[in-house]
Structure 1
Amino acid sequence: MDRVADQNGAGGFLYPAIAPFDQRTLDVGEGHRLYVEQCGNPDGIPVVVLHGGPGGGCSPAMRRYFDPQAYRIILFDQRGCGRSRPHASVEDNTTWHLVRDIETIRAALGIERWIVFGGSWGATLALIYAETHPDRAAALVLRGVFLMMQRELDWFYGGGAGAFWPEIWDDFVSLIPEEERGDLIAAYHARLFSGDRVQESRFARAWAGWENALASIHNQGARMEAPSDYARAFARLENHYFVNKGFLEEDGQILRDLPKIAHIPVSIVQGRFDMICPPRSAYDLAKALPHARLKMVHLAGHALSEAGITAELVKEMNALRLRRTALML
C-alpha cells in the first residue's frame, strides 16, 4: 500500500534531484530480473529503500530523502513491477522471494550492513527482512506502518475507510455483484486474473483508484487515474499478496517476531489521519520495541510526499548521519 506522487509543499524539505551513479539489472532466479540503482556517495552510509504496494515500484523522488554526500542510496523495483521483469507477474513472487532478493542485492553490492528505509508495504517488508536477517539491518526507518494483519485488510477493503469516503467506496464496490461483496479482495482477484486483458485493466484501474484517492489528506478524494500498465502491475501484485495474507505463517506474525529485532533502533513516522494504514499499527509496533521512536504527524495522511511526513523522514535521516560509528556502518 503506497503512493509516491508529489504533493505541493513537500519539495521544500527534499534534497535536490540526483541521477544514479550505477544502474543494473540483477538476475535473482525463477526468471525474474530486478532493476537496481545506486545514488549519492559510493562510500557513504548504505541505505536500501523499499517501496510500497506491493507493486508500487520506486521513483526518482525517493532518492531525495537522503543527503547525497552522506548516503549510498540503493533503490530497486520489486518482482513484477516498475522496470523489473516479467512485468505484473505473480509467479514465484512472495514475501520470502522478496526477502531473498534484498539479500541478493546486498551481497552483489558488497554491503555488510545497511539502514532499511520503507513505507507502507515497504515498512512491512523492512520488518520481515530485519526479523529474518537481524544482523544485516543496522536501523529501520518506517513510514505509514502496515503489519499485514487481517484487521488492516478489513479496514480498507471491508468498509472501515469507506465509512469516511462513502462516495469513493461506492464506486469501488459497485463494480462487483452484490452477492460477492462480502469479500472484495477475492472478488477483485477473480477479475484481475481472469485472462481477459481488457477486464483486468478495468478492475486494476478501479483497485488502484480506490487507494490513490485516499492516499493524501490534501487530495480531497480526487480520483487520480493511474496509467494502465502501472495500475495492472500494482493491482495484481497487491491483490495477490493480500489474497495470500502476505504469505505469513499466522496473523500477527510480525508482532510475534519482534523480539528478534529488539536491539535495532527503529524510527517510525505516521500520519495521524492515514486512511490506508491507520495509526494503531504504528502505535502497537512502537510500544512493543524498546528502541523505537514514534513521530505522529498531525494533519497528515498516508502519502510519502506529504509535507509533514517528508520533513520528519528527512530530519530522521539527517540525524542518523551522525550515528554511523554507533551503527557500525
Structure 2
Amino acid sequence: MTDPRGSVLVLTNRHDVTADLVLHILAERQVPVVRLDPGVDLHAGAALTATYRTGGQGGTLHTPSRELDLTEVRSVWMRRPSPFQGPNGLGEQDRRFAGSQATWGVGGILASLPGAHYLNHPWNNRAAEYKPAQLATAQRSGFAVPHSLITNDPDRAREFIDRQPGGVVYKPLWNTPYQVDGQARHVWVREVRTHEITGAVAACPHLFQALVEKAFDARVTAVGNRLFAVRIDSPDLDWRQRQSRMECTPIDVPAPVARSVLAYLTAHRLAFGAFDFAVTATGDWCFLECNPNGQWAWQPDSITDSIAFAVADQLQKGPEA
C-alpha cells in the first residue's frame, strides 16, 4: 500500500544513474516519487506555481504525467539538476534574464517547501562547499587538518612552501570549468615547488597544503548518522585522476573520526556528506575535504548498495529522519 505521507521530490537531470539506484528502491517500497529537472522540464511542459498569504502557503507542480501539491512533499533530494539557463529561442540578454529569474524564483520555491526534509537543503549545500569554511569547521570538529594556506600573495606562498619539509600541494578552491584550445581540462591536486610560484598567484586566491605522507586514501560517505567507508589505494596523488587504476576495499571508521564526522554534519546542517581523508602509516586520518553532494555509486557494490538504501530510508522517513 502506498505510504500516505506525501511524495518524494527528486531534483536531478535525466542522465543521473546514481539517482536511479535510489528511485528503484523507493519504487519497490511503493513510495510516490516525482523526478524533476527544473532547469529543463519547466521549458518542456512542466509548470510550477506557489502562493503565499497570511496564515499559510500553497503551490503545485504540474508535469505531463501528474500534479503534485507542494505542501505534501515529504522529502526533497537535491541531486544533480541542470543549471537554469532560460529557454532556447530567446536572445542572449532575455535568456540570461529568464535564467536568473528561474534561479531566484524556482530555486527559492523548491528550497522553501513547508515541512519537507531536505537531503541536503540547497542553501546548506552551497555554504558547505566553500573550502575555507570546510577547513575551519573540520578543525573545530576535531579532525586532524594538514597545515594549509590560502593566499594571493606570491611571497607568502613561497615562504609557506619553504617551511614544509615534506612538500606542498596545490588544489583549486572550486572546480571551475577550464579549456585549453577548446578542450576541457581538469585541475588536479599536484605537488608544487617554490620556483613554480610566479606573480600569477596574485590573480586570485590559491590553496596550498602541506603534503600528507599517506599510506592510503579513505572516503567516508555519511547519510544521517550512518557511515560507509572505503580504503582507496591509488598510484596517483589525486586518486580521482585515473579511477580505473585505484582499488577500493571496505574499511572501518575509527570512533574519534566518526564523532568528528557527525559533529561536522551538525555544524553545517547536513544530512549527507562525502568526506575524503589521507591516512598515514601510523593510522592518523587527516581531513582533506567534504563534498556535501558527492558522488558515491563508483564504490564497491556492497558499499554502493548500502548507501542507496540509507538514502532511500532518509527520503522515505521525511521529516522523521
Normalization by structure 1: what TM-score?
0.35
Bigger Cα Rg? 2
Say which structure, 1 or 2, has more relative contact order (CA 8 Å, 6+ apart). Answer: 1
> TM-score by structure 2 length?
0.36
- The structure richer in strand per residue is 2
